[in-house]
Structure formats: structure tokens, C-alpha cells
Structure 1
Amino acid sequence: MSQPASSLSAEERLKARKPVPKPVPAYLPTAGSPLAVDKSLYEAIQQAPRVLIEEFTVPIRSGRAWEAPAGSIVSISTPEGPQVGDLNIWNRHNPRERFWASRTRQLHSTHVSTHDRLWSNLPYMRPLVTIISDSLAWYGQDENGGRVHDLLGTRCDPYINTVLSGSQYDFHCHSNLSRAVAKWGLREDDVHDVLNLFQVTGLDEKGRYFMSPCPAEKGDSIEFLAEQDVLMALSTCPGGDLSLWGFGSDSEKEMIKVCRPLHVKVFQLQDKELLQKGGWKPAETAGYKGLHGVFSPEGEPSQRK
């Protein structure tokens, strides 16, 4: 008769553990799924002639917000070399709808690239933007398990900086994003978990988060198609390319040596009918029409005795 698990040592329990079959991703797109884009259409969009409607540079250790109408293309690049950028996105007309990093991570991957979508929070649950090109797609997975364009972590902020180092510093990504969106009437608590652009991260053998230096070179870029009218905000991380990362006043002085600007361009397609010809239309909110079971507060009726 086998012993109860509670009476076994940790070593014995490890030996008794049965092999687990290779897991299958929980959210695999099927034909026609909103998780999968029409690649031929999105590649045609990416390659189509376009007209520049806005362009600016985000200086080091600062933030900038801008509007991108539905159907426009947003390009974010590294004009002077490696630099991490923290990206937030909202519905332009309703800031309660905003980028949901954790659900995007579930639906696609811990790191995103071409043809992945950035999804919004509940109850909206729709794409905000779709990635249409990524010059760092070649990076794949490195020898440490690191990948680029991170959804595992979030923005650096002055609160954890103070907790860990006792230092007061006002230009972390959280602060940069907070300042950037103030002119649109948004507040600090509207800033949310980010997509860490150009940032390489992973989990070590114990599941601990690590960051590696940014692999971007001068002129690398990532491009998005706006799936609805959006407000985007970008912080040039005070950690620069993360090769000198740390917390505290000494680290802040060192990290500035590896800080560089980021560049943003917003385009409209020259052929404004290309999207409609291809069957594209602005993303629609999720079709759930239920009331979360409020008519049955004790749970699903069929399961009650």
C-alpha cells in the first residue's frame, strides 16, 4: 500500500512524480479566429505607400503621448542605437479601455512580434493595435531563454525605487508616462502595465525575472496598425539599453551613459480604401450580452442541489 503524499520527503515526492506530457498552449488560434490576422492583408498594408502625418523624437528619460486614428500606422524606432521604451495604449475616446498586458500575454506570448495583437481590458476585449513589422523578429530565443518585446515585466517606477534603494528619482517610466498623458486629462492611475519595447527578458531556472541588454541597433523599428482610434504614450526608459541597470542614485548616474532617444512616426495609407477593400474594419467590442449570472447569485442553477 502506497504512503500518503504528506508522509513522503520532498526527494521521494520528486521521484514519484509522473512525467507530464508536453503542454499544449491554452489559446491556439483557429481559422478565422480574432487571434489570427489575415497575413496577406496585413503584409499588403505594411508594404503599401503611406503618407506621414506626424513625426517626433522622444528625448532620453522622458515621455510623449500622441493620437493614432483607426487604420493608421505607427512606427517606433531606435535612431541612435539600443534603447528600451515603455508603451501604454488607450481607446482615444474612452480611457477606461486600455491595454491589457496579462491577457495579451495569455493570448499570444510572453514576448510579441509581427502579427500579434495588443488587446484591451474587460469589458471591451478587443484589439487596440496589431504589430505589422518588427526588425528584431530575428532575435528569437537566446541561450538564456531571453526574448525581445517583453510582456513579463512592467514599467520601472519611483515607488519600488524608493523601497529598494531609498532614493528619490522622478523620471522612471511610470512618472514619464504620467506626465505625458496629463494634457489629455488622464491621471497617474490611468497608467498601466506596459509593453517593454526592444527589451530582452526571460525567467531563469527558478522562475526569476531577468533582463538582458537591448539588442537593437541604429534604425531598428517596430510598427503597429491602429485597430481603433487610440491614444499611445511612450517612455524612454531611464535604464537606457539596460546594460548598466540598477536602482539608487549611483545607478541613475551610470545608466544615463547608455540612454538614447526613440523616434515615432504616424502614417496614413495613401490609398485610403485599401483597408476596406481587404475587408478590414475597426475592432468591435466583445459580444458578451450576459449579466454575470446576477439572476442566480448562488451560482449556476443546474449545479445547485
Structure 2
Amino acid sequence: MTKYYPAAYQASEGAALNIDKEFYQRIAAETGKRTLVKSVHVPIRTGQAWKVPAGHVFRVVAKEGAQVGDFNMWNAHNPRERMWASRTRQLQGAHVSTYDRLWSNLPFLRPMATITSDSLADYGVDEHGGRIHDLLGTRCDPYVNKMLTGEDFDFHCHSNLTRAIMPYGLTEFDVHDVLNIFQCTGLNSDDQYFMKASPAKKGDYLEFFAEIDLLCAISTCPGGDLSVHLWGPEAEDPLKVCRPLGIEIYSLDSELLEGWEQPRSPDYKGNHGLPFPKWEDQPDAQKTE
């Protein structure tokens, strides 16, 4: 049996990794103190984007059964700040669930959203080492599909997300590594990424608390619930296992938000070891007497 080895990143007392679980438990439990303000329907093989104000809750819901959703997230006011999958993987885990936070990229590095509730939290680890809601893999895309099959296909998650965010002034270059919601994945004995059929049922959900104002986007993966092979000799069209997703956005009663404030970025005062240039040292400086 493999011995337990501690995580590389350990939080000091009061650090952002040590969250107030009672606060998030209260938000998840007291559903009578929230109001549905918007619902978004995401048809199969498409993408949708939506905004969530800070202090609101949003859910991703399996409306008709198992379906994988590839999720992206940005600061609604500054898309240069966006979800950082690899750092979240280091700070929280390769698969996330209740109380885990999704972190933003440098130099911002703060929690953008915190998971408040997960209807699949009890899935745990299956006999193949599979877990739910992964940050291990990234979105499917038309480039790797062309490389593997020689065929063009315009409805991969990368393309779905690209179309979804265009009305907000963003482009393909803003699409980033994803959180694979409802997806069951792991690493096999050859240390290779595997995907297997999602265990989600109709009505299953993953719920988030928005720590800052967010622009979110999701793609209903063209692989559907991933119960059929997408590449290789056994590949087949997974259209029959594709299902829509739903998004629900809730405002919260003010009493639920007492004591909460939006997280701040680390107060790093350094200059990465770079010297500050002196004006008189510049070769084309305009000097005056």
C-alpha cells in the first residue's frame, strides 16, 4: 500500500486555504434564503456564457441525466484574471468538491469561487481510481481532433466556449484550461489520463459561491456522458449520450453574507528582483539643463 505523503502546499494560520466552513455550510443549507434570479439552458454540443455578481450562488445542473460540462471563468471586469486550473489543482486537488476554491492566475491569485454543495460528493474513488469534477485534463478541441482523425469538427468544447464568449468581447485566446464538471477521470498504471462514463443522474448539481463578479462559460461536451469511445479503433458517434445542462443563479439574503468580504490578491511588494531603471541611464533620454 502506498504510504500517505503530505501535500506540497501547506497553509499557515489564517491563510485563504483555511476557509470558514460554517459560512459556506449556511449558504448551502438555508436555501429558503435565496432567490432564483436567472436560469440558463445549455443545449447539447453548444456553449453558453453568463455573469454572476459577487455574493451570489450558481448551480450547474444535469437536467436530463449524465452530461459532462467544460467550465471556464473570468473576472467580469478584467478578463486577464481568469481561473487557473493548475494552481487550483495544487492548492485544492486534482478533483474538487465541497469547500474547494477555484483560484485565479498571477498576479491576481485569489479565490474566484468556492464550491458550496456537490450532489456527487459521496462518489469518492471508484475501483479504477476514478473521481468526479476534474482539473487533470483540459477541453477537447478541433486541433487535436484533426491531428488524431484527420477530420474537421466544429463543436468541441474549445469551439463551443469560443462562440459562447464572443458576445462579451472575448476570443479563442481567452479560453483556458477547464474544470470538467460531472466528468469521471483519473490516471492509469501507465500514468496516463483516462475518462469513463459519468455517474451523474438527472437533477445532480455542483454549486458555487461567487467570491468576485464573474463571467462564466460552459460547454456541453460533444462526448456527452463519455460512455462511448471518442478516438481509436472502437470510436463511435456519441450523439446518443449527449444531454443538455442547466445553470441556476441565485441571490442571497443579506443576513447570509454577514462577515463576508471579497478576497484580495496577495500584497506582494517586490519587483521580481528587477532593478528600477534610472531615467538618466536611458540611451535616448531627453535631458534638460
TM-score, L = length of structure 2: 0.91
C-alpha change, 1:21 and 1:146, in structure 2 (3 Å) is closer
What residue identity is the alignment partner of 2:164?
A: A
**From 26, 40, 59, the counterpart of 1:44:** 26
| 1:107 maps onto 2:87 in alignment | no
Residue 280 of structure 2: aligned partner: none
The code of the aligned residue for 1:174 comes to H
Given candidates 182, 191, 195, the residue that maps to 1:198 is: 182
State whether structure 2 residue 276 is matched by structure 1 residue 293: no
Q: How many residues align?
A: 273
Q: Give the alignment of 1:233-252 within 5 angstroms.
A: 233-247=217-231, 251=235
2:240 to 257, 275, 284: 257
Q: CA deviation at 1:45?
A: 1.4
Question: Structure 1: how far apart are the matches of 2:161 and 2:180?
Answer: 13
Q: Are positions 1:70 and 2:54 aligned together?
A: yes
Q: 1:1-305, aligned counterparts within 5 Å?
A: 22-48=4-30, 49-247=33-231, 251=235, 254-269=237-252, 271-275=253-257, 277=258, 279-295=259-275
Q: RMSD of the alignment, in Å?
A: 1.7
**CA–CA distance in 1 between the matches of 2:208 and 2:229?**
28
Q: Structure 1: how far apart are the matches of 2:103 and 2:188?
A: 27
> 1:51, 1:88 → 2: CA distance?
24
- Aligned 8 A contact 1:83 1:214 in 2: yes
Q: CA deviation at 1:36?
A: 2.4
User: Aligned letter for 2:65?
Assistant: G
**2: CA distance, partners of 1:140 / 1:132:** 17
Instruction: State, as a whole percentage, how many aligned pairs show the same letter.
Output: 57
Normalised by the length of structure 1, the TM-score is 0.86
Q: Distance in 2 between matches of 1:296 and 1:91?
A: 30
Inter-partner Cα distance in structure 1 for 2:231 and 2:77: 36
Which stretch shows the higher mean deviation, 219-228 or 49-58? 49-58
Give the SS at the match of 2:254. coil
* Alpha-carbon offset, residue 22 of structure 1: 4.2
Asked if 2 retains the 8 angstrom alpha-carbon contact of 1:36 and 1:115, the reply is: no
**Where does structure 1 differ by over 4 angstroms across 4 or more consecutive aligned residues?**
none
Cα distance, 1:30–1:135 mapped onto 2, change above 3 Å:
farther
Runs of 5+ consecutive residues of structure 1 not aligned to the other structure: 1-19, 298-305
